[in-house]
Amino acid sequence: MDEVFKALADPSRRALLDRLNERNGQTLRELCAGLDMTRQSVSKHLAVLEDAGLVTAVRHGREKLHHLNAEPINAVAERWIRQYDRERVRALADLKRALEEPAVDAHTPAGTATTAGAAPGADAFVYTTHIRTTPERLWEALTSPAFTRRYWGLAFETDWNPGSPMLWEQNGARIDDPAQVVLEADPHRRLAYTWHTFTPEWAAAVGVSEELRARLADERRSRVAFTLEPQGETVRLTVVHDGWEPGATGLTMIREGWPALLSSLKTLLETGEPLPEPAA
């Protein structure tokens, strides 16, 4: 926590975070443009933000794309924002965004997921967390139904070979589609697959309206990738969920869902129990 608050105390670093909040996935050159700072100063500030976990850098060729990382802020919220205050804080934040942001009316015809190994763009969710576990145990938690049911409430049926189909099962709904496939599977190191299909059965099982389901189904299919990097007694887990079109409804939803889900995964591996379900 000390590193997070120290990083946020500097106005130049807050300015860099603001720029990434406006457009995620920028290179060092792009972040330097228009700033009254040298390239070396920007690079040093980014290093502090990375050390604090507030920024995650994903390498693409010779360049690094910098993304905001919600995990440290989520940890602050878990520690200091009480459960009964959370909805009030969220409502005020939503009101502030509605008043400050221009309306968005963008639509792109449905397409396919991005290819495996592609660099995440601005319309991507990137999240990094450190879990006190082993790569083998974390891999099992990401792939084994016995684990995924405990913190995620769903299970996969697949052999985890690249190109193999994936059947998703959630709340009794079985989600089957030829485009649900494993993209990458390097045991204990990297896993990637296409996101599930938004079927009427899935919507009924999770309580999503038909109007919202139809909107999600009309968007192009996304992909999610997990990178596991051992670091001493912990594993650095980076999740990149990309392939979204600008303004996608699905992107807004997974930005809300992934932090809570990954917090529950971390708690399960470190304590033996997932996070409790939020009160109704």
**3-state DSSP assignment of residue 48:** helix
Domains and CATH numbers, the chain: 2-69 (1.10.10.10), 125-271 (3.30.530.20)
pLDDT in tens, 232-261: 999 999 999 999 998 899 999 998 899 989
- The DSSP 8-state label assigned to residue 81 in this structure reads S
Chain centroid offset of residue 97 CA: 20
Per-residue pLDDT averaged across 133-149, rounded? 97
Torsion angles phi and psi, residue 193, rounded to 5: -155, 160
On average, the pLDDT of the chain sits at: 83
User: pLDDT over 90 for what percent of the chain?
Assistant: 50
Can you list the alpha helix ranges (DSSP code H) found in the chain?
2-8, 11-22, 28-32, 39-51, 71-80, 83-100, 135-143, 145-151, 200-206, 210-217, 249-271
pLDDT given at position 179? 97
Q: What pairs with residue 131 in β-bridges?
A: 235
pLDDT in tens, 42-67: 888 888 988 888 888 887 677 788 88
Per-residue pLDDT averaged across 164-186, rounded? 96
What is the CA angle 38-42-43, rounded to 5?
A: 115
pLDDT in tens, 105-134: 433 333 344 444 455 555 788 999 999 999
**Identity at 46, one-letter amino acid code:** L
pLDDT at 182 over 50: yes
Angle of helix 210-217 relative to helix 249-271, nearest 10 degrees? 100
- Taking Cα atoms as reference points, which of 70, 152, 110, 123 lies closest to residue 251? 123
Q: Using an 8 Å Cβ cutoff, are 69 and 53 in contact?
A: yes
pLDDT given at position 275? 76
- Most confident option among 2-11, 22-31, 208-217: 208-217
pLDDT-based confidence at residue 157 (cuts at 50, 70, 90): very high
- Taking Cα atoms as reference points, which of 65, 63, 64, 68 lies closest to residue 18? 68
